[in-house]
Amino acid sequence: MERLWGLLQRAQQLSPRSSQTVYQRVEGPQKGHLEEEEEDGEETLAHFCPMELKGPEPLGSRPRQPNLIPWAAAGRRAAPYLVLTALLIFTGAFLLGYVAFRGSCQTCGDSVLVVSEDVNYEPDLDFHRGTLYWSDLQAMFLQFLGEGRLEDTIRQTSLRERVAGSAGMAALTQDIRAALSRQKLDHVWTDTHYVGLQFPDPAHPNTLHWVDEAGKIGEQLPLEDPDVYCPYSAIGNVTGELVYAHYGRPEDLQDLRARGVDPAGRLLLVRVGVISFAQKVTNAQDFGAQGVLIYPEPADFSQDPHKPSLSSQQAVYGHVHLGTGDPYTPGFPSFNQTQFPPVASSGLPSIPAQPISADIASRLLRKLKGPVAPQEWQGSLLGSPYHLGPGPGLRLAVNNHRTSTPINNIFGCIEGHSEPDHYVVIGAQRDAWGPGAAKSAVGTAILLELVRTFSSMVSNGFRPRRSLLFISWDGGDFGSVGSTEWLEGYLSVLHLKAVVYVSLDNAVLGNDKFRAKTSPLLTSLIESVLKQVDSPNHSGQTLYEQVVFTNPSWDAEVIRPLPMDSSAYSFTAFVGVPAVEFSFVEDDQAYPFLHTKEDTYENLHKVLQGRLPAVAQAVAQLAGQLLIRLSHDRLLPLDFGRYGDVVLRHIGNLNEFSGDLKARGLTLQWVYSARGDYIRAAEKLRQEIYSSEERDERLTRMYNVRIMRPAPHLQFQLLLFLAFPHSKNSTPQPFDLKKWVEFYFLSQYVSPADSPFRHIFMGRGDHTLGALLDHLRLLRSNSSGTPGATSSAVFQESRFRRQLALLTWTLQGAANALSGDVWNIDNNF
């Protein structure tokens, strides 16, 4: 205390006696204003310090003051201690308040101070302030988001030719890049890939003929539109009897076989829907079929007379590559001049496929004999029940040709101010085989509107923490070719830096129900955002309230798995980045015009009964608020604990086979043990993170490292942080990388070139849980005694053991990564 007193006395002696500006309240006519006065330093001190602080003075330094009364002298001596005590109390209270506030606001960004999310709060729209509140950001976003522009862009885009590789697409590419360049973006560029696309041959169109019992080719069945085809179909001519196979699912083909109608050696007639074209053709190939004809069944679409329906002369387009990207460069990016070995994707079919119209399908169905199809297989094309067949012989000729085609992805970027090397990615398919109003025009319009909106927000003070990357994809109608080639080209960068992918494809296919196809990591965030967005068709309700009114279990109503035909699928199943695709759909009815030449703006507008602008804006609001949270929250709002529920649910499906395996001397104990390790590790880490966040941010950052794959450069960053935690030359950033949980579920034991979709829950291949379950079901089937059954249709113990090992060790690896240090891990089952 004596040292502190000496310093104070020294400072008082050395302080200059300069004049200071003092503000005094002015009475009278100008009451309420402040007036400046110039005063001497000593007089100023008198105003602000009524108690004079003095220490012991040397003898003779100045005349002695008259002796004060005892209590006044005691007050003088105690004054410094009182002031210092008050300062200590104030400082302690301030620190306690600061820590309490930080703990109660775990998702606040550096520039966003969340004070209240009261929906009745009326924000001041003067956004040129130092601090933007969460309500300000919401108001800013909604203010700049324009509903009218969305409808105009959808209409104009649907009128333009934009088949991948066409002259019309080249012109649209230039226009969209120019539109992005006019906005306040930090970077705009294009990425060109040279990919193998398949197109019909105008000189040799695909054909379908009747064949008599002697094998002689008879009457040709007209294919109304020679432009409608299945890209990546096998080329050639096949002949066989016709069989009706419902949707072409494995269970449909097994049912056919059980009813005495073998698909092997025959042409299958299957309906559009439920599964993709590629899955239908692959299933038919696995059961030995010769070829596949795919038609739209009117009973699968809305029967509402007030809504438009698909013409009976219209066939549906769809590719049949069971995979994504360029099938002629599997696992490699298709950049120009790159030399690839002469290989093709294992997902390319070896049998031909062709779309046909409902009119042609009705002519074929009338010729079928054999057993009557099950009631759930019946349709509305005939006045009598459908039969399974077989029917007369048919000859299908497919003459598509492959062409090397340049495609262009367009990029626009707003750099983050704190974590610019972490990307929140949002994309939409730009190309379309036909008008593509619902398929890609809606998504393109929403993407452009979000670019314009966020650009305006940046001009008005918005600074995202992480970078926003807006992408317009090319080649989407051929199997997400543009997005997959980009992922393949920049895999080593993107699996480290991409945080989340948001897809705008197929965003508006109706207005009755809302769906989110997503990774479990995003489920909690989607729930939060749904509570912030108004329903486009239920006034006074949020989307969340609309959903729970129908089904209290909101996630059972909304959440769906990512399908392979979504551009979001490759981000999760191939790269290990959590992704989501939003859709508004009709109530239990498919949008009838998707992938047809009737997917026009007018038909989409009629299906939605004039509500297209409102529904499109609701999707834009959902996507926009999701982007704000993902790009601006200090801690990424990803719920890694959700995967514990997923693991329990999926692996619980194995329980029913325990008895069958035990009879063969096999066990599932290994995978059960790995499941338990993961759930315990996830729960323990969750508790440690949230219990320690209020007390020790350094521990929080160290815990977050355990949620990610420990890449070398991140380990180096962690070492620097631990060595220099308070460097004054830089602001330490939290290791908020929960996104790496998704990466842990990519099997490290299979080759990305041979099995690109390595995700054990969402991927495809023998390493997945789905493949293991399908294999186990063979224990209860009669496939082993079925003539002509392939080896893949018979239970094999050696294959089962390999599958179990792949699944177990991938799951155990995820548990180990969450557990942290090796001395906390026990891999002994």
Reading the block at residue 703, the tokens are 């815990």
Residue 238 contacts residue 291 (beta carbons within 8 Å): yes
- H-type helices in 105-146, by residue range? 134-144
Question: What pTM does this model have?
Answer: 0.79
Name residue 420's amino acid.
P
Residue pLDDT, tens place only, 37-56: 444 443 333 333 333 334 44
Give the chain's mean pLDDT. Answer: 80
Q: Is it the case that residue 21 has pLDDT exceeding 60?
A: no
Q: Is the per-residue pLDDT at 586 higher than 90?
A: no
User: What is the distance between the alpha carbons of residues 761 and 29, in angstroms, rounded to a whole number?
Assistant: 76
Render pLDDT for 202-256 as a digit per residue (tens, 0 to 9): 999 999 999 998 889 999 999 988 899 999 999 999 999 999 999 999 999 999 9
pLDDT, position 215: 85
- Output the pLDDT for position 707: 45
Highest average pLDDT, of 35-49, 241-255, 566-580, 663-677, comes from 241-255
Q: What is the DSSP letter of 373?
A: P
By percentage, how much of the chain surpasses pLDDT 90? 47
Is pLDDT at 760 greater than 90 in this prediction? no
Which residues, at least 6 apart from 181, have a Cβ–Cβ distance to it below 8 Å? 188
Name the β-bridge partners of 466. Answer: 419
Give the angle subtended at the CA of 501 by the CAs of 500 and 502, to the nearest 5°: 120
Q: What is the pLDDT of residue 534?
A: 92
Quote the tokens at residue 459. 């001009």
Find where tokens 């239908």 sit.
280
* DSSP class per residue in 660-721: HHHHTT---HHHHHHHHHHHHHHHHHHHHHHHHTTT-HHHHHHHHHTTS---HHHHHHHHHH
Q: Which residue has the tokens 């379908």?
A: 208
Structure token digits, residue 447: 């993407």
**pLDDT on residue 250:** 93
| pLDDT of 140 above 70 | yes
Token pair for residue 487?
A: 């992922």
Interatomic CA distance for residues 522 and 503, integer angstroms: 13
- Which region among 66-75, 105-114, 569-578, 634-643 has the lowest average model confidence (pLDDT)? 105-114
